[in-house]
């Protein structure tokens, strides 16, 4: 199986940590789309949103997805909002499979409680915002997923094991 494996899911669900570990186990190139964009722009995600605006950030995400359509063998940790574009989903699927890391709002909140690197969660009611955004996106995450893994009550090792089972069964 040489298709890309793209991890999608809400902010704070573990895509980057799990993706990096998975790439080491499978000896495949790892791309974290947020990191890629941060390195390319020389700015943090907060700065990109503040200075250049969210549409600019989304255009960089779209450009990356177009590249994924013609690539293989990569483990990709996507930004949580990547799937807001149907074109992005189509391009990711051209190059590989999508695994949705499903996570409860409470677990996401506990992971991101002290985090200030997500511009969309800069609010006094972080849990409320997580619930609102998640409700909006849930149908899209579920609709685009080839496979879904519930990571709400699993540790990283357990989640990786489940993903390896999927990858090895294809
Ligand atoms: C976003 C998720 C973030 C990052 C940006 C916007 C979103 O990525 O791309 O802050 O719209 O959900 P992570 O899912 O890696 O936190």
Q: How much of the chain exceeds pLDDT 90, in percent?
A: 99
Return the pLDDT at 92. 98
Question: How much distance in Å is there from the Cα of 118 to the middle of ligand 1?
Answer: 6
Ligand 1 atom at minimal distance to the Cα of residue 37: 9
Task: Select from 76, 79, 115 the residue to mutate for testing ligand 1; criterion: most ligand atoms less than 8 Å from CB.
Answer: 79
Question: How much distance in Å is there from the Cα of 11 to the middle of ligand 1?
Answer: 5
Return the pLDDT at 63. 98
Return the pLDDT at 121. 98
Mean of the pLDDT values across residues 103-109? 98
Among 97, 157, 127, smallest CA distance to 12 is for 127
pLDDT class of 115 with cuts at 50, 70, 90? very high
| 88 CB-contact burial (10 Å; exposed 0-12 / middle 13-18 / buried 19+) | buried
The dihedral over CA atoms of 161, 162, 165, 169, expressed in degrees to the nearest 10, equals -160
Return the pLDDT at 72. 97
DSSP strand E in 33-135: where?
74-77, 96-102
Ligand 1 atom at minimal distance to the Cα of residue 16: 15
CA dist 47 and 102 (Å) reads 28
Mean of the pLDDT values across residues 6-15? 98
Phi–psi pair at 6, nearest 5 degrees: -105, 125
- The helix or strand, by DSSP H or E, that contains position 6, with its residue range, turns out to be strand 4-8
- pLDDT digit string, tens, across residues 133-166: 999 999 999 999 999 999 999 999 999 999 999 9
CA dist 41 and 148 (Å) reads 32
- pLDDT digit string, tens, across residues 34-53: 999 999 999 999 999 999 99
18 close to 7: Cβ distance less than 8 angstroms:
yes
Return the pLDDT at 82. 97
Adjacent-strand bridge partners of 97: 5
Length of the chain: 170
- pLDDT digit string, tens, across residues 65-100: 999 999 999 999 999 999 999 999 999 999 999 999
**Residue with tokens 């997923």, as numbered in its chain:** 145
């Amino acid at each position: 199986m040489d298709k890309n494996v793209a991890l999608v899911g809400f902010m704070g669900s573990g895509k980057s940590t799990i993706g990096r570990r998975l790439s080491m186990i499978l000896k495949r190139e790892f791309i974290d789309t947020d990191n890629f964009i941060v390195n390319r722009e020389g700015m943090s995600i907060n700065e990109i949103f503040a200075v250049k605006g969210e549409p600019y950030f989304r255009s960089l995400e779209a450009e990356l997805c177009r590249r994924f359509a013609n690539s293989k063998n990569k483990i990709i940790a996507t930004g949580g909002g990547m799937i807001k574009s149907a074109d992005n989903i189509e391009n990711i699927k051209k190059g590989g499979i999508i695994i949705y890391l499903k996570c409860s709002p409470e677990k996401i909140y506990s992971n991101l409680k002290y985090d200030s690197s997500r511009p969309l969660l800069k609010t006094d009611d972080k849990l409320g915002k997580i619930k609102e955004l998640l409700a909006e996106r849930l149908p899209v995450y579920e609709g685009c997923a080839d496979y879904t893994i519930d990571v709400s009550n699993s540790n990283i090792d357990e989640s990786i094991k489940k993903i390896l089972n999927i990858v090895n069964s294809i």
